[in-house]
Chain A
Amino acid sequence: MNFSSTDTKQWSRLGPRAMFGKFMLDIAKKNKKLIVLSADLGRSSGLARFKIEFPKQYISIGISEQNLIGVASGLANEGYKVFVTSFAPFLSMRASEQIRMNLGYMKQNVNLVALGSGLSMGFLGNSHFGLEDLAIMRTIPNLNITCPADCSELGKVLDDYAFNNRGPSYIRLTGVPGSLNVYEKNYKYKFGKNITLSKGNDILILSHGSILGQIKLSLNYLKKQKINAELVNVVSLKPIDESIIKLMRKFKKIITIEEHTSVGGLGSIIAEKILKNKIRSELYSLSLPDKFGPTAKYDHLLKYYGLDALGITKKISNLLKIK
């Protein structure tokens, strides 16, 4: 899937959920084997038009996420290309064991699309937030985990899963309509590979998901302070791009930034890599605390946790003051 700078501006305004629906429409036109299922969140997945245009390729399962995974797996077993949607905690926690049995143990080729992960559900609150989903999903063998940074990357990720045989996946959608774009122009996406968004020497920033938009913005502020950071989009949390080991050795300081609690996400993955590979860099993390916090508008929450561009800038410039 290719895109122009006009596309990506428009897509960002529509947001990841509406764009998921649109990308599925495009895929359905090319792939008759595509079936999309949702546990009563079709509309929230931007699939209203999909349901009308491809009624035979959409199955509405009631509010029964455990059942959703089983039915999807049965269909995948019969050769269909299956995508399912629900909110991040309802897939990763409510149906966690079904995912373990069907996608992990049996390797049924189902793509889980986790809507509204991180803090993006705003006033819907902690019940709907994806705070711990990565920690849980990444313990399941055979499950790929992919966290697109913006709508254009989402399109590339969905295309990649739809037209290749990558095995089961957890695709984590973060951000809201209007979240900052990460990619202004078309680029090459390769399954399982990191993408360098900015080159620099002072610190290595590793991140994933829509928060990368805020980090990109903070790079401009940091530049004014003569700080040149290298920014890498770890779009694939599983499998992890092993070239990261070599890269990390080049930096004295490394920071992981993510919209996930400090337990078990990218911060933990990188810490494990550093320990295992005896990398001597200092590792820092900026993430959500291991607790249930307040509910507010998405932008407000990012600011509250220091995950907005200003908070990120402050954190990094302070880190670089540590000798």
Chain B
Amino acid sequence: MLKKVNQIKKLSYKIRKIILDISYNCGEPSHIGGALSIVEILSVIYSIFDIKINKPFDRFILSKGHGFLALLSILHCKGFIKKKKDLMQFQKNESEFIAHPIMNKSIGIETSNGSLGQGLSFGVGLAISYKKKNKDNSVIVVVGDGECYEGSIWEAAITATEQNLNNLFVVVDCNGHQNDGAIDKMMSYEEMKKKWKGFGWNVNSCNGHNVLALINAFKKGSKSKPTAIITKTIKGKGVNFMENNNDWHHGRLTKELYLQSIKSINLN
């Protein structure tokens, strides 16, 4: 287990580095903060689930589409996007890699996204289809805490319990911030746990940057219920000047800031 945890930690470092590389390379503002908050979450998901290009496999949907830099990076680390050079097309004119995912099954991007609150319903559809086909694969959907203001998230949450989708996981990235700043305490980490429990989900919670805790949270599934993993995270995690600084929700890295950010992740 220790070996696996260390591997995932190394993977997380690699992803952070790629996020910064891509973001700096594009020369444009990009969603860095919310990508950095889900690095460990994605590293764990892609390490413990069987996510492949070819079916049958476990499925991952990034419902908080603005976390795309993290997804793009892990797709490269998993070998789904072979060349790092291709990643550098991010936010270049007419590129398929933009601020939000565009569905491309050949490289493992399951859905087009960017309009919040939609990924969970799609995930419910996938999970129902696995049940119908008697396959025991899992569907994992990552949503943001700000995204949970969308009513459609809770519509999907109801259907997931009604359909007894114990093959469905939602990971809530509680980084405490949304576009305009800090999230109200009514949508805090603690409140989020109560909300998902109230909707009838099996709820586990942990520090979203603690690899071992995340692995264990995924292990504690339920026989009949979908599982929500509520994670406490830090927006901009790993880069000291970005952490909990919402200017980096959507920010541009200058050369100086880029070098500083690399130094910062090396120290962490």
Contact = CB atoms under 8 A, between A and B. Distances in A.
Nearest to A74: B125
Nearest to B105: A77
A70 B153 CA distance: 11
A67 B121 contact: yes
B74 to A, nearest CB: 21
Given A74-B123, A98-B152, A102-B122, A67 B129 contact: no
Nearest to B117: A66
A193 B103 CA distance: 31
Contacts, number: 87
A323 B78 CA distance: 73
Given A62-B162, A70-B120, A106-B103, A75 B155 contact: no
B112 A62 contact: no
B140 to A, nearest CB: 13
Given A62-B162, A101-B112, A77 B122 contact: yes
B79 interface: no
Contact of B124 (A66, A70, A101, A106): A70
A143 to B, nearest CB: 15
A17 to B, nearest CB: 24
B244 interface: no
A64 interface: yes
Interface residues of B, number: 29
Interface in A47-66: 56, 59, 61-62, 64, 66
B159 interface: yes
A75 B112 CA distance: 16
Nearest to B124: A71
A80 interface: yes
Given A74-B121, A75-B125, A77-B126, A105 B112 contact: yes
Nearest to A107: B103
Nearest to B110: A77
Contact of A62 (B103, B120, B125, B159): B159
Interface size on A, as a range, is: 20 to 34
Interface in A232-278: none
A57 B115 CA distance: 29
A56 B132 contact: yes
* Main SS class of interface, A: helix
A61 B125 contact: no
Nearest to B115: A101
A55 B162 CA distance: 15
Interface in B85-124: 103, 110-113, 115, 117-124
Q: Which of A61, A71, A75, A98 has the most CB of B within 10 A?
A: A71
Contacts of B133: 78
A73 to B, nearest CB: 6
B112 A77 contact: no
B159 A61 contact: yes
Interface string A67-110: 11111111111101000000000000000011001100110000
B158 interface: yes
A280 B174 CA distance: 62
Contacts of A105: 103, 112
Interface in B137-167: 151-152, 155-156, 158-159, 162-163
A102 B155 contact: no
B75 interface: no
Given A70-B124, A78-B125, A98 B103 contact: no
A97 B113 CA distance: 12
B128 interface: yes
Nearest to B121: A70
Contact of B156 (A70, A77, A102): A70
A106 B156 CA distance: 19
B152 A67 contact: yes
B155 A67 contact: yes
Contact of B125 (A64, A71, A101): A71
Given A64-B159, A78-B126, A70 B118 contact: yes
A73 B126 CA distance: 9
A97 B115 contact: yes
12 contacts: A66-B151, A69-B121, A70-B120, A70-B121, A70-B124, A71-B125, A74-B127, A74-B128, A75-B126, A77-B126, A101-B118, A105-B112
Closest 5 CB pairs of A and B: A74-B125, A70-B121, A64-B155, A67-B155, A78-B129
